[in-house]
Structure 1
Amino acid sequence: MTDTTINDTRKAELLSKQVKHIDIKSFDARPIVDAMSDMSFTSRDLGRATKIYNQMLGDKDCTVVLVIAGSTSAGGCMDLYAELVRNNMVDVIVATGATIVDMDFFEGLGHKHYQALEVPDDDTLRSLYIDRIYDTYIDEEQLQDCDHTIYEICNRLEPKAYSSRAFIREMGKYLVENGKKENSLVKLAYEHDVPIFCPAFVDSSAGFGLVKHQVDQMKAGKPYLMIDAVADFRELTDIKIKAGETGLLMIGGGVPKNFIQDTVVCAEILGHEDVAVHKYAVQITVADVRDGACSSSTLQEAASWGKVSTAIEQMVFAEAGSVMPLLASDAYHRGLWKDRPTRKWATLFDAN
């Protein structure tokens, strides 16, 4: 056999087992969450965090913001997040570009993530065009298809400044027309008017498509589109001002976490001193608080900045993929979402 055939065979072996995304509707986590609430350590923290999330859903005045950082979507929580949108359990999403583009939009195009049954030398993976996220694989050639699709979307749009929210809405529209997966967060958010913000949008597969679009347009002497991160901050602050009561369900930390928390301060700077801090807050993270980094700052620390109330908050120090299925399944089966008003915050910007 030729080297190409050998490599193709080896690549197929390594990409033979797809990651299966958990279905929170298929099991009822209420009994185990109730039992864990009577335990100690992280179990009790999770029980209280789940109770707080249910409080958010039961509070008809509360806008729920889902904040996602890290790789839980690639690891099996992708359908979980989609179900939260489908069932009116979140109203706004703030996430990393990787979560939205490299993971969800990527699968929306028909591609998959794979379990690493073995982890050979990473140089070997590179030679086979396989990207690795811990014990999860992505086919780099499929990821390049994602890059090219973003490039195609750019070329179809009017060359002007877009917030990441506005551009991701166009991605959702693309999936409605051309997508291969029903349970896509980007697609469902478009259909349910749930805005998605990625404050560091170009730090993702989208960045490659956007750069190629700009370079090609510049070479041709034509105008090009760009992503306006300031507009992201302004639009999300607009939502906070109009929403009033808000609750945060945060997975991980980083830029998305700080971005949503800063809307309270931004509203004050704009003269809206009556805007309340985020009333409810849950954060699931493994970040260590001792290094002083923003990603690991506790919710109590955020209170000192005037961002979050310490009255109804809970930190859960756990790997999110192991506890989010329990929290989400519990909330789904308790059914408080059934009586929530739909907010459709994306329509706030339709006239813009």
Structure 2
Amino acid sequence: MSEQIDQQRKAELLSKTVEHIDITSFDARPIIDQMANMSFTSRDLARATGIYNQMLADRDCTIFLVIAGSTSAGGCMDLYAELIRSNMVDAVVATGASIVDMDFFEGLGHKHYQALEIPNDNTLRSLYIDRIYDTYIDEEQLQDCDHTIGEIANSLEPKAYSSRAFIREMGKYLAEHGKKDNSLVKLAYEHDVPTFCPAFVDSSAGFGLVKHQVDRMKAGAPYMVLDAIADFRELTDIKIKAGPTGLLMIGGGVPKNFIQDTVVCAEILGHHDVEMHKYAVQITVADTRDGACSSSTLQEAASWGKVQTVHEQMVFAEAGSVMPLLASDAWHRGHWKDRPKRGWAKLFG
């Protein structure tokens, strides 16, 4: 179908790349300090930033970065990478889209593009351009991502893997063949930061992995599989051994519920001394009108024994507009500089 695409029109629409924000290039501390004396979302953000700084200053605290939504495609990709590079988070729980379609995709050398105009979406389809709100992805490049995931699967021993184990192989691939230093997947591999995607196949990985299985089945050969139970078990293992923990959550949904559930799972396994998550920040535009908040509110989670309500803060804002301020403030305050490096990935060999 590619020969039918109007390449000139496609090039016009994919002419301006999304530039990812660099939290080290500006100091947000004066802004956050003044926001603390304001009201509404500004004060909420200042308090959330203070809680994140408390996590970083607490030398016993393991910090989980929890990502849902499209902020990576929208310009926060290097921000998340910097949190790993600077030892500001110790493990990641995310959607497959954040890890594969966005971060791994750019790690292969591809780009996201600003939509300077939004024509009819059927026109975009005819040009093989996928749209995320006001951001574009070249579908042909995304298929390269699918293909690469399939190649990685084909190279592995045909057995069961947790998403963490497979994403580690993705990071190893980028370390050897990648074209971008600021990749969360690559840096997580290099810094032993385990990364979990509890709904991993709900992404470009799904297409590559399905093709891997179908091709192997046709050949009568064994194939690799993803073990979602191992995901939960491994993440719970970290929670059991970590002691005090903090959650920095962007969005909600499956990643948010998954990390909160580790406390309950640990208790089911007989570890009644495992603490609730001590610190929790959630940045979201969801609310409680649907009976939740893209998974339970932090206060509601306390009733399940998942999150303490002493150091928790909801921030109702589009994360791309406030995460740069929170992360820049925390980076410049520098509590990360003498944090112990945990390397939780080493727990799994």
**TM-score interval, normalised by the smaller of the two chains:** over 0.9
Q: Partner residue of 1:179?
A: 178
Q: Partner residue of 2:40?
A: 41
Distance 1:172 1:297 in 2: 32
Q: In 2 relative to 1, CA 282–235 (structure 1 residues): closer, same or farther, beyond 3 Å? A: same
Q: Partner residue of 1:90?
A: 89
**Residue identity matched to 1:321:** G
> Which of structure 1's runs of 4+ aligned residues deviate more than 2 A?
3-6
Q: Residue deviations 1:294-325, cap 9 Å, x none?
A: 51531001111110000110000000000000
Aligned runs of 1:260-299 on 2, under 5 Å? Answer: 260-293=259-292, 295=294, 297-299=296-298
Distance 2:222 2:293 in 1: 37
Q: Partner residue of 1:9?
A: 8
SS of the aligned residue for 1:295 comes to: coil
Query: Offset at 1:4?
Result: 5.6
Query: Offset at 1:288?
Result: 1.6
1:246 corresponds to 2:251: no
**Residue identity matched to 2:197:** C
Query: Offset at 1:150?
Result: 0.3
**Residue identity matched to 2:191:** H
Aligned runs of 1:85-234 on 2, under 5 Å? Answer: 85-234=84-233
Q: Partner residue of 1:70?
A: 69
- Say if 2:254 and 2:295, in contact at 8 Å, map to a contact too: no
SS of the aligned residue for 2:93 comes to: strand
Q: Residue deviations 1:61-92, cap 9 Å, x none?
A: 00000000000000000000000000000000
Distance 1:179 1:143 in 2: 15
1:259 corresponds to 2:277: no
SS of the aligned residue for 1:268 comes to: helix
Query: Offset at 1:293?
Result: 3.3
Distance 1:83 1:98 in 2: 19
SS of the aligned residue for 2:202 comes to: coil
- Say if 1:115 and 1:135, in contact at 8 Å, map to a contact too: yes
Q: Residue deviations 1:4-43, cap 9 Å, x none?
A: 6871000000000000000000000000000011000000
| Number of residue equivalences | 348
Q: In 2 relative to 1, CA 306–6 (structure 1 residues): closer, same or farther, beyond 3 Å? A: closer
Q: Residue deviations 1:249-284, cap 9 Å, x none?
A: 000000000000000000000000000000000000
- Say if 1:258 and 1:294, in contact at 8 Å, map to a contact too: no
Distance 1:77 1:87 in 2: 16
**Residue identity matched to 1:311:** V
- Say if 1:93 and 1:195, in contact at 8 Å, map to a contact too: yes
Flag structure 2 segments of 5+ consecutive residues without an equivalent: none
Q: In 2 relative to 1, CA 20–349 (structure 1 residues): closer, same or farther, beyond 3 Å? A: same
Q: Partner residue of 2:310?
A: 311
Report the TM-score, using the length of structure 1 for normalisation: 0.98
**Residue identity matched to 2:216:** Q
Identical counterparts, % of pairs: 84
- Say if 2:56 and 2:339, in contact at 8 Å, map to a contact too: yes
Distance 1:189 1:90 in 2: 10
Distance 2:202 2:180 in 1: 24
Q: Partner residue of 2:80?
A: 81
Query: Offset at 1:142?
Result: 0.1
Distance 1:293 1:113 in 2: 31
SS of the aligned residue for 2:281 comes to: strand
Q: In 2 relative to 1, CA 8–231 (structure 1 residues): closer, same or farther, beyond 3 Å? A: same
SS of the aligned residue for 2:18 comes to: coil
Distance 1:177 1:267 in 2: 36
SS of the aligned residue for 1:263 comes to: helix
- Say if 1:289 and 1:296, in contact at 8 Å, map to a contact too: no
Distance 1:265 1:282 in 2: 19
Aligned runs of 1:19-34 on 2, under 5 Å? Answer: 19-34=18-33
Distance 2:294 2:245 in 1: 20
- Say if 1:288 and 1:296, in contact at 8 Å, map to a contact too: no
1:321 corresponds to 2:314: no
Distance 1:286 1:46 in 2: 13
Q: Partner residue of 1:60?
A: 59
